[in-house]
Structure 1
Amino acid sequence: MPKCIVAEDEKLLSAALQRELAKAWPELEIVAVCEDGGEALEAIVTHQPDVAFLDIRMPGLTGMEVAAAAADASPHTLVVFVTAYDQYAVDAFERGAIDYLLKPVVAERLAQAVTRLRGRLADAARHARRTGDLAKDLIGRFDDVPDEPLTWITAGAGKATRLILVEDVIYFRADNKYTVVATAEGDALLSRPIRELLRQLDPRTFRQIHRSTIVNLRQVASVERDDTGKGCLRLRGRPETLNVSQPFMAIFRAM
C-alpha cells in the first residue's frame, strides 16, 4: 500500500484534498497531515512516504524548501505541489516536469496526477531527484512574506514585561505552551506557541532549524556540520550554539 503525507495549513483545503484523494486513490494511505513546512519535512523523514502533497505557501519552510530537503532526506518520495499561483508559476513547474495541482483541487485534474504518480512509482528515485533539483532552483521565487510581519513583541522577564523589537531576537525556542525569546540582553517568555509565530515572522529573516527552534539568520555567525549530517549554529551576541536537525541542514545548503 503506497503512503503519502498531506501538508496544507488551511484546514478546509486540507480536508477537501484528503476526501478527493480517498476517491481517486483508495489504496493510498495518508500517514501524516501537516500544517507547516517544518512538520512536513519531519514527517517525510519519519515516514519515508511514496508521495508528498505540499502546499507552496506554508509557515516556516515553503513547499519548495521542503521538496529540496526531501530529495536528500527521502530520495524516493514523489512530490506534488498544491498551489494557488497564476500561470507564470505553473509554466515554471511544467518546464521542470513537476507535478502540481491548482487550488481549489478539481477531481478530474487530481485523477490525472494520480495516474501519473502511479506510473512513476516504479522509477520514483529518478523522478524525485529531478523534482528536488528544480525545487532548489526555484527557492526564493515564491517566498511567502506576511502582509504585516511582526515588528515587535511583548514578553515576560520575571515580574517585568519587555518590549522587544523582532529584529533584536536571536532565536525563538518552544517551551511547552510558551516560547522563549532569546536576545543579547537575556531571555523572556512569550505566551504564544511557536507555530503561531511561524505564520507571522518574515521568512526571509527567520528560519526554522528544528521542530522547536526558529533562528534569526542575521544573528548567525557560522554553520557547522558533523559527520552524522547534523549541524549547529554559532550565534552573534550569545555564547550557546543551536542544534540543526539533519533534514533542516539541506535548507542551509540550498540557500
Structure 2
Amino acid sequence: MHATALIAEDEPLLAASLQIELLRLWPQLNIIATVGDGAAAVRQCIALRPDLAFLDIKMPGMSGLDAAQAIVEDWPNTDGGPPLLVFVTAYNEYAVHAFERAALDYVLKPVQSGRLAQTCARLQATLSQRERSGSDNSAAVRRAALSRSTRELPDPLEPLVAQLRMVLGIADAHSIPTTEPLRMIQASAGNTITMVSIDDVLYFEAADKYVRVVTPQREHLIRMSLRELLPRLDPQRFWQIHRGTVVRIDAIASASRDETGKLTLELRGHTARLGVSRLYAERFKGM
C-alpha cells in the first residue's frame, strides 16, 4: 500500500532509525518530511497533508500531544481527515494506558521491529478502510450534504477529537500535581506588581512565552505558559475552549454557530469574540 508520512522527532539518530525501520517494513511508504519540533510538525502536516504522522511526545517547545491537538484544530474543512497519528514515547505507564483506552497507536523507545510491524499493519488496515469509505461518497452526494446545516453532518474528525481529548485528559491528570486553585494573579509591569482577582478575569490567552490576562477594564501579561497555568485554575469556573484560550464560564453571554459550524463566544462586559475549536465544541450543547 502506498502512503505518505511525516516524522517529528528532535533526536536525529532516532528519527533516522525510525525512518529506516519503517521503510524496511513498509517499502511503499513515502516519508515526505522529517522535522525536529512540534510547531514544525503542525506546519508541515497542514501544508503537505500526509496520511500518517509519527509524533515524539517530548520535543522542545510544543510537545507531540500539543502538536496533535493543533493539527486537529487547524485541519481545514475539506474532504478527508487529518493524518493517522502514532505517538512515539519512552515508556510511561500513564501515556501507554491513555493511548490504549483511546485506540490511538503508539510505539515505545527504543523502537522494536515487531511492535512497529504491528503498528504498520494497523495503519494499513485503517487507510484501506478510509479509502473504501471515501469511494462510497461521491462528489455529488458531498455537495448536496454540504448544502444542509453543518450540524446535521457527521464530522469526520469527531472520533479523533474524542480520542485525543481522552489522551490529553488522562495525561494532564497524571502529570500535574493537584494544587489549591488560584485566587489572585500577580501581574508585573516594570517595577509595579498588580494584584488581579481571579473573579475579575474574563479569559486567558496564550501569547508566546506569556499569557494575556483579560479583565473588563484592562489587560495584563504574566510570564507563564498556558499549560503551566491551567492546573492552577478551578475547572468548575474556567474552561479551555482552544489550545490558546481559557475562558471564565460565567463571563460567557452566548455561543453562536455560523454556516460552517464554527462556534464563537460573546462575553459579558467585553467586545471580544472568542473562537471555540473542534476539540471543545461539545461543551456548548443546549440543555
Q: Same fold (TM over 0.5)?
A: yes
Contact 1:153–1:164 (Cα < 8 Å) also in 2:
yes
Task: Confirm or deny that 1:197 pairs with 2:203.
Answer: no
Give the CA deviation at 1:71: 10
Q: CA deviation at 1:28?
A: 1.5
What does 1:1-255 correspond to in 2, within 5 Å?
Answer: 2-4=4-6, 6=8, 18-26=15-23, 27-30=30-33, 34-35=37-38, 44-53=45-54, 75=81, 77-82=83-88, 84-85=92-93, 89=98, 92-93=101-102, 98-108=103-113, 109-124=115-130, 132-133=158-159, 136=162, 139-140=165-166, 142=170, 144-145=172-173, 146-147=176-177, 151=182, 152-156=184-188, 160-165=192-197, 168-175=200-207, 178-192=210-224, 196-202=225-231, 204=235, 205-207=238-240, 209=242, 213-218=244-249, 219-244=251-276, 248=277, 250-255=278-283
Q: Normalising to structure 2: TM-score of the pair?
A: 0.58
Give the direction of change, closer, same or farther, for the CA distance of 1:243–1:119 in structure 2 (3 Å limit): closer
Give ranges in structure 2 of 5+ residues lacking alignment. Answer: 24-29, 135-154
Q: How many Å separate the matches in 2 of 1:60 and 1:21? A: 16
Q: Which ranges in structure 1 are unaligned for 5 or more consecutive residues?
A: none
Distance (whole Å) between structure 2 residues aligned to residue 169 and residue 43 of structure 1: 35
Taking a change above 3 Å as real, the CA distance of residues 125 and 200 of structure 1, as seen in their structure-2 partners, is farther
* Residues 126, 25 of structure 1: alpha-carbon distance in 2 compared, 3 angstrom cutoff: same
Task: Mark the structure with the bigger radius of gyration.
Answer: 2
CA contact (8 A) 2:71 2:82 kept: no
CA distance in 1, matches of 2:93, 2:132: 26
Q: For the Cα contact (< 8 Å) 2:241–2:280, is it kept in 1?
A: no
Contact 2:55 2:64 in 1 (8 A): no
RMSD between aligned alpha carbons? 4.5
RCO greater where, 1 or 2, for CA within 8 Å and sep 6 or more? 1
In structure 2, C-alpha distance between the alignment counterparts of 1:43 and 1:188, rounded to whole Å:
33
Percent same amino acid at aligned positions?
27
1:19–1:206 CA distance, 2 compared to 1 (3 A):
farther
Displacement of 1:189 after TM fit?
Answer: 2.3
Residues 153 and 163, structure 1, Cα contact 8 Å, conserved in 2: yes
Quote the Cα distance in structure 2 between the aligned partners of 1:34 and 1:174. 19
Distance in 1 separating the partners of 2:255 and 2:187? 28
Tell me which residue corresponds to 2:149: none
Query: TM-score scaled by structure 1?
Result: 0.64
8 Å Cα contact 1:61/1:207 also seen in 2? no
Q: Counterparts of 2:64 and 2:121 in 1: how far apart (Å)?
A: 31
In the alignment of these two chains, the number of paired residues is 235
